[in-house]
Amino acid sequence: MSRRVWLPLGAVVLVVNALQWVVAEAVTAAAWTDPPYSYAANYISDLGVPDCGTQFQGRDICSPAHSLMNASFMVEGILFAVAVVLLARLVEGRARRVIVALGVAHGVGMVLVGLFHGSADGPSSGLVLHVAGAGVGILCANTVAIVAGSLRSLGQSPAYRVFSIAVGALGLLSEALVSLSASTAGVFERGGVYSWLLWSVVTGIVLLVRNRRRAAMVEDVSV
């Protein structure tokens, strides 16, 4: 597969993947009406719980469109892994192996999140796999952003590099603050997730713009 194919493909997958998550989350949250879903207090994982009319850790659970969110979790993991594996070709050696490993681990983690919901009503092993998958997914995706920003070999601008490192670091910090308060758990969890979604969109756009400019320069030289 030539660079003309894998680079724009990986970039587009990054952007589309982030958008599908946001749309799926919004639609699923809108379907949760009794009681209304809280972006501040409810975890994202609550949207994937199939049980309705129950409570978990003091939160009311009822997500009629849980199948949509669980599918989105798994799609996100698979597409993110595919995009990272494709775009890892931009670097060589150990850095490539690290990025690929992080991307694949994230993918596996998010597939587990979609397969095993975060509810105490299911098997205890399922909840453990869900929490472990979410932890691995969040850690690895934010680390990918940090690593991407730290690599000079990518040839990105200083502004992008600062953004990439900062958004990944802030995502990890936000996730660490989830247990600070039950009323803000959803806010901080989203900080740890939206960080890599934002990184995906920005990175995809940056790569597409740069690739287009490079193609234009090649055309000008050939002329």
pLDDT 10s digits, 143-164:
999 999 999 888 889 999 999 9
| Residue 217 confidence (pLDDT) | 55
SS (H, E, C) 49-76: CCCCCEEECCEEECCCCHHHHHHHHHHH
Residue 29: which residues within 8 A CB-CB, separation 6 or more?
Answer: 37, 39, 47
| Residue 88 confidence (pLDDT) | 94
| Residue 173 confidence (pLDDT) | 97
| Residue 219 confidence (pLDDT) | 54
| Residue 202 confidence (pLDDT) | 97
| Residue 34 confidence (pLDDT) | 83
The reported pTM is 0.92
Handedness of CA 172, 140, 85, 81 (dihedral sign): negative
Which residues, given as ranges, of the chain have pLDDT below 70?
122-123, 215-223
